[in-house]
Amino acid sequence: MQRKKNWKIAMPIIDNDDIQEVMEEDFIIKDDTEIELRKIENISLENRQAKKVTINQSIFKNVDFNNSEFKGIDLTDVIFEKCDLSNVDFTESVIYRVQFKNCKLMGINLTESTLNNVAFDNCMARYSLFPLLKCRSVIFKECNFDSADFYKCNFNNVEFINSSLIDIQIHETKLKDIDLSSCDIEGINLNIDDLRGCILHPEQMFYFARLIGVTLK
């Protein structure tokens, strides 16, 4: 059973009356590009490269970003729905009030990024990279993070709901008050000391008991 939380995330704020649809041939993204109040659907942005891009109050639906590199991107009030962000490089990015819904995030790289009021809902994110990630008010719901790397993350008001965390690396990440009771954590790799204060299902204790050589009867 999930413990009732005393916080909630802020949803993206988008002025739908002023948002403009953009066709693929009109969409330009390069270093220092600023994008605001745009709706982009059914286009391919594969293998693009740009630094310090800023995107505000925009919606991306069924957009393919596969293998693109957007280091240092700044996202505020953005929705990604049914997008493919596999192997996208978002290192050192700032992501605020953003939703990822039904997205493919295989191998996405968010190393040293900051997430604030972000929701991941029903996303496939196996082999994703989150080292040194800072998370505040973030929800991971019904996602697959198998074999992902959460090394040395800073979690503040973070919730995992019904997600697969099989074989993830989560060393040097404090899990105090993090509820993993509804998740599959088979093969999780962590420091036992970091588990202090974590919320688990009784059946999950058998796995951690084996890690420290304890037999439960």
User: pLDDT digit string (tens) for 117-156?
Assistant: 999 999 999 999 999 999 999 999 999 999 999 999 999 9
Q: What angle do CA 59, 118, 2 make, to 5 degrees?
A: 130
Query: What pLDDT was estimated at residue 215?
Result: 62
Low-confidence residues in the chain, pLDDT < 50: 1-2
Query: What pLDDT was estimated at residue 216?
Result: 58
Question: From its phi and psi, is residue 23 left (phi > 0), alpha (psi between -120 and 50) or beta?
Answer: beta
Query: What pLDDT was estimated at residue 172?
Result: 96
Architecture of domain 20-211: 3 Solenoid (2.160)
Question: Is the Cβ–Cβ distance between 141 and 118 less than 8 Å?
Answer: no
The domains of the chain are located at 20-211
Query: Residue for token digits 């496939």?
Result: 124
User: In DSSP terms, which residues pair with 169 in a beta bridge?
Assistant: 149, 189
**pLDDT tens-digit profile of 26-38?**
888 999 999 999 9
Pairing of strands 20-22, 38-41: parallel
pTM of the entire structure?
0.92
